[in-house]
Amino acid sequence: MSIIDSVKGAPDLLPPVSSGFNAIESAMLTTALTYGYERIRTPVFEHTEVFARGVGASTDIVNKEMYTFEDKGGRSLTLRPEGTAGIMRAALSAGIPRGGVLPWKVSWVGEVFRYERPQSGRQRSFTQMDVEALGTTDPAIDAEMIILGWDALRNAAATAGKTFDESNLEVRLNTLGDRADRPAYHAALNAYLDQFETQGKLPKDVLERRHLNPLRAFDSKAEGMAEIMANAPVIKDHISEAATEHHRQVVALLDAEGIPVIHDDHLVRGLDYYTRTTFEYQATNLGAQSAVGGGGRFDGLAEDLGWNEPFQGIGLALGVDRTYLSIYGVSPGDPNPGLARTPRVDVFGIPMAPHHGPRVFHLITALRRAGIRAEMGESTRKPRALFKSADRAGAQFAIIIGDDEMMNDEVTVKHLATGEQHTCPQDVAVLGSIVRTSD
* Rounded (5°) CA angle 113-115-116: 120
Confidence of residue 120 (pLDDT cuts 50, 70, 90): confident
Confidence of residue 336 (pLDDT cuts 50, 70, 90): low
| Of 430 and 44, more confident | 44
356-377 per-position pLDDT tens digit: 999 999 999 999 999 999 999 9
**Range with lowest mean pLDDT among 273-287, 391-405, 425-439:** 425-439
In this predicted structure, the answer to whether residue 205 has a pLDDT above a threshold of 90 is no
Residue 78 phi/psi, 5-degree rounding, is: -135, 130
Mean pLDDT of the chain: 91
End-to-end CA distance of the chain: 49
pLDDT of residue 15: 85
In this predicted structure, the answer to whether residue 346 has a pLDDT above a threshold of 70 is yes
Task: Please give the domain boundaries of the chain with CATH numbers for all domains.
Answer: 17-178+239-328 (3.30.930.10), 347-438 (3.40.50.800)
Four-residue CA torsion sign, 186, 192, 195, 196: negative
* 131 sits in which H/E element: strand 125-134
Nearest to 397 by CA among 420, 363, 380: 420
Relative orientation angle of helices 139-158 and 17-34, to the nearest 10 degrees: 150
User: Average pLDDT, stretch 380-405?
Assistant: 93
Confidence of residue 338 (pLDDT cuts 50, 70, 90): low
**Separation between Cα atoms, residue 145 and residue 386, nearest integer Å:** 50
Residue 195: Cβ within 10 Å count: 11
In this predicted structure, the answer to whether residue 216 has a pLDDT above a threshold of 90 is no
pLDDT of residue 221: 82
This prediction's pTM: 0.89
User: Average pLDDT, stretch 104-126?
Assistant: 90
72-112 per-position pLDDT tens digit: 999 999 999 999 999 999 999 999 999 878 999 999 999 99
User: 255 Cβ partners below 8 Å, 6+ apart?
Assistant: 261
Look at strands 291-297 and 38-39 and give their pairing.
Answer: unpaired
In this predicted structure, the answer to whether residue 438 has a pLDDT above a threshold of 90 is no
25-37 per-position pLDDT tens digit: 999 999 999 999 9
Name residue 261's beta-bridge partners. Answer: 171
The residue count of the chain comes to 439
Confirm if 123 and 321 have CB atoms less than 8 A apart. Answer: yes
**How far is residue 271 CA from its own chain's centroid?**
17
